[in-house]
Structure 1
Amino acid sequence: MKLLVIIVPFLIAVFLGRIIIPFILFVSYKKRLFDPVDPRKFHQKIIPRLGGVSFAPVQSCLFIISVIVLYKVNFVPLGIDTSEVFPMFMLLLCGLFILFLVGLADDLVGVHYQWKFIAQIIVACLFPLSGLWINDMYGILFITYLPPWIGMPLTIFAVVLIINAVNLIDGIDGLCSGLIMVGCSFLGILFIHYEAWLHALFAFITAGVLSSFFYYNVFGASKRKRRIFMGDTGSLTLGLSIAFLSISFAMNNQAIKPFSEGAIVTAFSTLIVPVFDVTRVLFVRWRDGQPLFKADRNHLHHKFLRTGMSHHMAMISILALALFFCVFNFVAVQYISNNVVVLCDILLWIGFIFVWNAVENRKRKARSRKLEVIK
């Protein structure tokens, strides 16, 4: 019976996304609101980029309505006093509204990156203000409790990093929405296990609305005017959503869920791929003397495509990689210390990148030899 509390809103979110996205497509073609075509992007046809407009309104409205209904029927989602949890969700919805407006303005008329960055910091500050912040490292680097003067700035930094990592990973069809769907589903199941019903509800509402967008983004045909991108409106709000869920799971707070030894490692395992990838890209730009925030074609999906993979195959491979880290960390923290698991994550990532660079170089040399033979 409790699972219906999650399943019904999830299905409603899928249904609402299925209704709203065709309407967005209609308006986009009517008003010619398309993603600009340039040499750095893969698509060479006009495609709307306002799919993310459907995310935050469905997330916010459906979550609020679901909570009201739950309390009307005397179902207390957490089974305890939720007065400490509700402010977290209320300020989350405020943050979603702010990033929704900033992203929409950027998709329609363009917003300078500095202003987007300021908006991200403001939204990140809402987390500590609501009482949500990283207060325990669970033994990582042999640190446990974090005082507010360390945990709160760390939380702000983590939220801004996650938002930008999610925004930058949005490079090929289905990748960003697929990664967030994997993350929300994984964390949603864990929240259900710990009976944190409000967080599970938000996680699966997000996954539901994304599933409808995923269909149009990956399988929609451009010629039939059925394909759409999420734009910054979507990637910014999704980044905030997954940051909220991850930090909520990582926080040592009985009002959210019972204590679990590997919470912080498990929570952020959903973000290893986008966060490690943006860290690698920034390091490469710094090493090569390039501007840190200058767009290039050095992200993980670019590396996959350069080996000859199709867009769909690259997307599926990266989603499989993200799922591997989720499952590996979830199992590993049951048997070994958090420090060892984090070290394994770093070594696995470095090893994977090293091997893939070798594959990429071999493919490039093979193409060069083939061109020389043709000449």
Structure 2
Amino acid sequence: MDITLSLFTAFLCSFLSIKILKPLAEQVGLVDKPNERKNHVGHIPLVGGISTFIGVLIASVLWLPHSSELRIYIIASAMMVFIGVLDDKYDLSVRVRLVGQMLIASLMIFGVNAYIADLGDLIGFGGINLGWLGIPFTYLAMLGAINAFNMVDGIDGLVGSLSITTFTSLALLFLFNSDKQLATFPLMIATATFPYLLFNLGLPGGRFKKIFMGDAGSMFIGLSVVWLLATGSQGDNAAFRPVTALWVIAMPLMDMAAIMYRRMKKGQSPFKPDRDHLHHIFMRAGFSARQSLLIITILAVVLAGVGIVGELLNASDWLMFVGFLGVFVLYCYSLQHIWRIVSFIRHNVTHEQ
């Protein structure tokens, strides 16, 4: 009953927050404006991340056992969302964003002593323990998760669908480890994201006016993902192995890594926007935005499912790691031969018609 009430609270508070925040965002200019890279119509309120955080905040305070870890998480999340709102409003420099994100990540690392040091037996020669190097590794993981979910936010519904997939997968992993309390938390985040998804996609039937997640949302999601990964994959009572985490966040992680590599190979900044993400590829191949959303979400669910099944079957760490690298190489190959793939798909579609 408590789980049901906590999820209902997260959904309801997130939904009501959107209704309250939308007109306020329009008044203060917290909106996304069309430009050469953004072809949406009108000024879209950037309140998806704020509303998701509010839903999680209220549900956590009302229904989760109070602890120092929860208090520090709420404080860190509030600070991360605040920086994200400032970035959405004033377009902060990369340096300012990174400094703010690292300071907030320090609350997790040093406030609750949660960081990723044990990587498991990735190469088949025994467990890899980073020791104190786990601290800078966790900083990099935090920045990576934030940017991964930020970069995939290119078509309606994508960042919401991928984050829901990730948090639901983490909840299942905690449930399979008989930890219902920890499983409730990612489920609350996933549930609090649903109202954003409804508004972002205009469901049902275009009834709700569009909103965007904003950097506040991607920063909140990134912090929450790494926090849960550090909590779930480390320690003697870990709910899952670190290699499983790669599969759970495979789609946004691979998209970010491949794109940043391509940009640096061209001598460009890894943070420079372009139109070579996976959803751009599908749309250039002739798929609609909704079709691209469905295909990518299914791929993310399948990859997360592989990780969960591998965890349940206790597949060796090195086998799961090699499998992940194989999928990533295939993904990079596809991006490097984008026009061949597009031409092949178009040719076959035309031939069938």
Give the corresponding residue for 1:45.
42
Q: Residue type of the partner of 1:346? A: L
347-356 vs 165-174, greater mean Cα deviation: 347-356
Q: 2:53 aligns with which of 53, 56, 60?
A: 56
Equivalent residue, structure 1, for 2:261: 283
AA matched with 2:98:
F
Q: Does 1:121 align with 2:102?
A: yes
Cα deviation for residue 42 of structure 1 reads 3.4
**1:240-289 Cα distance to aligned partner (Å, 9 max, x none):** 111211222111243xx56x5xx212233221111111111111111111
Matched to 1:344, the amino acid is G
Q: Secondary structure of the equivalent of 2:268?
A: coil
Which of these residues, 96, 101, 106, is aligned with residue 82 of structure 2?
Answer: 101
Alignment of 1:241-252 (within 5 A): 241-252=224-235
Q: Secondary structure at the match of 2:129?
A: coil
For residues 6-56 of structure 1, what are the alpha-carbon distances to aligned partners after superposition, in whole Å with 9 as ceiling and x for unaligned?
222112211122222122222234445421111112313322222221122
Deviates more, 1:200-209 or 1:49-58: 49-58
Secondary structure of the structure 2 residue equivalent to 1:137:
strand
Determine the structure 2 residue equivalent to 1:309: 287
Aligned to 2:350: none
Larger Rg: 1
CA distance in 1, matches of 2:121, 2:341: 41
The counterpart of 2:121, out of the listed 109, 133, 139, is 139
Task: Summarize the alignment of residues 65-80 of structure 1 with structure 2, pairs less than 5 Å apart.
Answer: 65-68=62-65
User: Post-superposition shift, 1:128?
Assistant: 2.1
Which residue of 1 is the match for residue 168 of structure 2?
185
Q: Distance in 1 between matches of 2:258 and 2:116?
A: 24
Q: Which residue of 1 aligns with 2:315?
A: 336
1:144 deviates by: 1.8
Cα separation, partners in 2 of 1:147 and 1:227, compared to 1, 3 Å: closer
Q: Aligned AA for 2:330?
A: G
The letter for the 2-side match of 1:347 is G
Q: Distance in 2 between matches of 1:366 and 1:329?
A: 29
* Paired letter, 2:302: F
* 1:231 lines up with 2:228 in the alignment: no
Residue identity matched to 2:256: V
User: Is it true that 1:264 corresponds to 2:246 in the alignment?
Assistant: no
Which of 9, 12, 18 is equivalent to 1:12? 9
* Residues 163, 240 of structure 1: 8 Å contact kept: yes
* Aligned structure 1 segments of 4 or more residues deviating by more than 4 angstroms: 220-225, 355-359, 364-367
Instruction: Calculate percent identity across the aligned residue pairs.
Output: 24
Q: Hey, what's the Cα distance between the residues in 2 that align with 1:186 and 1:249?
A: 12
TM norm structure 2: 0.89
One of 277, 293, 307 as aligned partner of 1:299 = 277
TM-score with structure 1 setting the length: 0.84
> When the two structures are aligned, how many residues end up with a matched partner?
344
Consecutive unaligned residues of structure 1, counting only runs of 5 or more, are 72-85, 368-375
Q: Relative to 1, partners in 2 of residues 1:213 and 1:153: Cα closer, same or farther, differing over 3 Å? A: same
Q: 1:127-156 CA deviation, whole Å, 9 max, x = no partner?
A: 221111123222113352525312222122
What residue is the counterpart of 2:18 in the other structure? 21
**Mapped partners of 2:62, 2:143: distance in 1:** 29
Is 1:51–1:231's contact at 8 Å kept on the other side of the alignment? yes
Deviations 1:143-184 (A, max 9, x none): 525253122221221111111111111111111111111111
Residue 120 of structure 2 aligns to a residue in which SS? coil
Residue of structure 2 in register with 1:348 after alignment: 327
Pick closer, same or farther for the CA change 1:241–1:103 going to 2, 3 Å: same
Structure 2: runs of 5 or more not aligned: 347-353
